[in-house]
Amino acid sequence: MDALVQLVRNAMCCIKDLNLYSDSVLYDPLEMGKYYSFPSPHLNKTTPLEFLISLSQLYACLSCIYQGYHSIKSLGVYKLRRITRVFPMRMKMCQEEASKAKKAKVKTSEGDALHHQIVLQSLLKESDNALRSVLVGICLMMIGISFFWLFGNSLHITDAGWIGGVPALIHALSVMEIALVPLLFYMIKDGMDSIQSSERIIQFSNNVVSYVSKDKKNWINRETYSFIQQNGSWTPFWVSDDPVASEQLSLENEIKSIITVITAMSSGKESSADFKKTLKHSPEDVALNMTAKAEFAKFEGCLEFVYFFLNFFAFYGYLLAIITYYFDKEDDQPIYVSSLRLGYSNNDAEWTGNFAGDLMWTIEPFVIFTSPLLFSFLSKKNKKIKTD
């Protein structure tokens, strides 16, 4: 829904920027007077097109604030609280196992503690993700609040000097630009991580059969354990934001499941048979499915870079409106300001930047809508390869 509204909103902004269908009722403020009398002398200038744009901006305002709140609360704070509860449980289980081994006078090896290492690595990774969710949530809320001034601007409220007027609108745009910076960084980071993960999956899939048969426990960690899962990823209960009735019991069941899979992957001579019995697939089938997952991961990484470039150009385009506002005298501007304007006049730079931003944010949801078709194509391609 959000992507659809974004597509419609920015498509309408592009129509307004290019003054398309200028002879239609979309540009006639008197048409709005048939339904509601907006106060003069500014708000009565609102056209049907601007009114529709304002509604979509109000939706973006409420949606971003809600998503930001959900990201901070459920994906951030609640998850961190769960991890802080699970971590002491894990430590207690480690101590109990070590105590039992000591009483039984059994020497524990690194391989015997693999399940605890995998749990620890997952908890640390998920705690990083939770902190990231808090930061992303804050950025989304900042963007959502900024959209309120864009909503007011479309209704010519800022022209009337209300809600802070034009200066407040520029401040809101500045806040939006600042909030976009961490999101742009994460787009690059996620893109690189996905592509690198794709390479590691390919390398692992090429060796999974020999690794299973050679009884090597040192090749198993959180990432390879996740690779080996048939669904392509491991999602323990602390990754989800759904409540769990008994976290102690859930942790025990999670560790039992991990031990079962580790044993199947490194049980020596009969490991391939145990592997197939436990994971319901042979090492060869799992390796083939991992190859498919590697293609998906690489494609996801490329998509993140596409989103980065689209949002970077939108970021740069909207930035020009802020620059031309603060440096309104073209004959008295620092050289770096003239460079940022790319030689355009203030008016041309502002219009070009605004149109570029609207266009990039129109293309982005279109890419979002078409990407599942490409994923489906890759899925059918991999199924055909598997059948052959």
Total domain count, the chain: 1
- The 10 Å Cβ neighbour count of residue 138 is 16
**Minimum mean pLDDT range among 94-108, 123-137, 173-187:** 94-108
For the chain, the average pLDDT equals 81
Our CA dihedral for 91, 96, 99, 105, rounded to 10 degrees, sits at -120
In a domain, 14, yes or no: yes
Q: How far is CA 375 from CA 38, 87, 363, in A?
A: 48, 37, 18
Q: Is the pLDDT of residue 152 over 80?
A: yes
| Cβ pair 180, 136 in contact under 8 A | no
385 band by pLDDT with thresholds 50, 70 and 90 = very low
Take residue 121 and report the two structure tokens written for it. Answer: 């690595």
Q: How far is CA 83 from CA 113, 163, 211, 270, in A?
A: 20, 42, 32, 36
In a domain, 265, yes or no: no
Take residue 49 and report the two structure tokens written for it. Answer: 């097109």
pLDDT of residue 217: 54
| Cβ pair 57, 150 in contact under 8 A | yes
pLDDT of residue 210: 67
User: Residue 140 corresponds to which amino acid?
Assistant: L
Take residue 124 and report the two structure tokens written for it. Answer: 């640390």
3-state secondary structure 21-76: CCCCHHHCHHHHCCCCCCCCCCHHHCCHHHHHHHHHHHHHHHHHHHHHHHHHHHHH
In a domain, 104, yes or no: no
pLDDT of residue 106: 53
**DSSP annotation of 106:** -
pLDDT of residue 387: 46
In a domain, 7, yes or no: yes
Question: What is the mean predicted confidence (pLDDT) over 293-321?
Answer: 90
Which of the pair, 212 or 78, is modelled with greater confidence? 78
C-alpha closest to that of 121 among 224, 241, 229, 231: 224
146 band by pLDDT with thresholds 50, 70 and 90 = very high
Q: Is the pLDDT of residue 54 over 70?
A: yes
**DSSP annotation of 77:** I
pTM above 0.85, yes or no: no
In a domain, 134, yes or no: no
111 band by pLDDT with thresholds 50, 70 and 90 = very low
In a domain, 124, yes or no: no
* Residue-number span of the structural domain to which 160 is assigned: 2-69+142-235+273-387
Take residue 290 and report the two structure tokens written for it. Answer: 């991992």
In a domain, 261, yes or no: no
Which of the pair, 240 or 15, is modelled with greater confidence? 15
Q: How far is CA 190 from CA 9, 195, 273, 309, in A?
A: 27, 9, 37, 14
291 band by pLDDT with thresholds 50, 70 and 90 = confident
In a domain, 168, yes or no: yes
Phi-psi region of 235 (alpha: psi -120 to 50; beta: other; left: phi over 0): beta
